[in-house]
Amino acid sequence: MAVTLEQAQRVGYTFLKALLRFAFMVANNLVAIPSYVLYLIVLQPLRVLDSKSFWYIEGVLFKWLLAMVASWGWWAGYTVVEWGDDVKAVSEDEAVVLVNHQATGDVCTLMMCLQDKGTLVRHMMWLMDHIFKYTNFGIVSLIHGDFFIRQGRAYRDQQLVLLKEHLEKYYRSRNRKWIVLFPEGGFLRKRRETSQAFAKKNNLPFLKHVTLPRLGATQVILKTLVAPQENGTPAGGDAVIKESKPKGLQWVIDTTIAYSKGEPIDIQTWILGYRQPAVTHVHYRIFPVKDVPAEPEALTQWLYQRFIEKEDLLTHFYETGAFPPLQGQTKAVSREMTLSNLWLVGIQSFAFLSGGMWYCILQYFYHCLF
């Protein structure tokens, strides 16, 4: 088939745009990430004198870095529409967020849609595959205190012990509030066949849009972070919690990501922007943690039920283009998530100015020493 001039021009424009976006992303990383690290090195005395203020500043810088990642998709026309419960109402409480996992773009989508939830992004902790430790953003996540989990049966028990120790050491000492994990343990396309075989063997529902979740990390998080007498039993009544003690996890936020036409956006698309503008849909359901069972078998069934419900939500979405209404509603209500272009330009400018400043400072010290 002959290629028309118009088609050739379109391909050329797409390639040029992708090349320019990639160059900007590389430049952005080269100034923003080293600046983040250098600011925190300089502020180490503050960490000793006033740890709370140090982690406050780190949280602000961390949010700005995530906003830069969000801006790559936002400016390419990859926007987000939110459905279900309004999570802003619990953004200052402690919560564990359970997300279905389809592609590398899931993390970018969350980085975007949680930007307008007040101070939330500053106080988040992420659980992600250990391979992300070796990406450009790995040093940032290490400093921030995210946890990198190694997949595979051979590592499972050891990783859960390390996760518990990590939570006890970093979660409250750095004033973390939300912890985000992907309980499926991998991308949908990689785990679907194995999950379906397991479901058939154990007389569980056949799932196409999600896979059955794994229990380990969720159980460790609940055991470690939920206040006594809260998980599995009423926190009120005769239960007395001293005001000076942390409340512990209060909510489980079941988060379902749906992509237009069922076509996930990966990190390459997010960066290069070669795909046409698309809307990603994110659905939230909030569960009080006191309603979540603590016993392993009951918790497993509770988690399975959440992902079976995710399957129903996604089936409804792909058939109708919308999520079903919440209980008590006659029509589902959606909210278009927005970002301020002025704010995004501001933090990008700050990153490049910081990069220039640090370059001049390092050059000065280099010449003084040598």
Residue 355 to residue 342: CA distance in whole angstroms: 20
273 in Cβ contact with 21 (< 8 Å): yes
105: region left, alpha or beta (phi > 0 left; psi from -120 to 50 alpha): alpha
Residue 242: per-residue pLDDT: 43
Torsion of CA 304, 264, 323, 285, to 10 degrees: 50
Task: Give 203: exposed, middle or buried? Use CB within 10 Å, 0-12, 13-18, 19+.
Answer: exposed
Instruction: Note down pLDDT in tens along the chain; length 370 residues.
Output: 566 877 777 888 888 999 999 999 999 999 999 999 999 999 999 999 999 999 999 999 999 999 999 999 999 999 999 999 999 999 999 999 999 999 989 999 999 999 989 888 999 999 988 888 888 889 999 999 999 988 777 778 899 999 999 999 999 999 999 999 999 988 888 889 999 998 999 999 999 999 999 999 999 999 999 876 555 544 433 333 344 455 789 999 999 999 988 899 999 999 999 999 999 999 999 999 999 998 999 999 999 999 999 999 999 999 999 999 988 778 888 999 999 999 999 999 999 999 999 999 998 888 888 7
Q: What is the set of domains in the chain, with CATH numbers? A: 78-227+247-324+331-343 (3.40.1130)
pTM summary value: 0.89
Give the tokens for residue 346. 């501001």
Residue 261 to residue 328: CA distance in whole angstroms: 28
Residue at token pair 């399975």:
304
Strand arrangement, sheet containing 251-259: 147-149, 124-129, 178-181, 95-99, 251-259, 278-288, 78-84, 334-337
What 3 state SS string does the chain have?
Answer: CCCCHHHHHHHHHHHHHHHHHHHHHHHHHHHHHHHHHHHHHHCHHHHHHCHHHHHHHHHHHHHHHHHHHHHHHHCCCEEEEEEECCHHHHCCCCEEEEECCCCCHHHHHHHHHCCCCCCHHHHEEEEEEHHHHHCCCHHHHHHHCCEEECCCCCCHHHHHHHHHHHHHHHHCCCCCCEEEECCCCCCHHHHHHHHHHHHHHCCCCCCCCCCCCCCHHHHHHHHHHECCCCCCCCCCCCCCCCCCCCCECCEEEEEEEEEHHHCCCCHHHHHHCCCCCEEEEEEEEEEEHHHCCCCHHHHHHHHHHHHHHHHHHHHHHHHHCCCCCCCCCCCCCEEEECCCHHHHHHHHHHHHHHHHHHHHHHHHHHHHHC
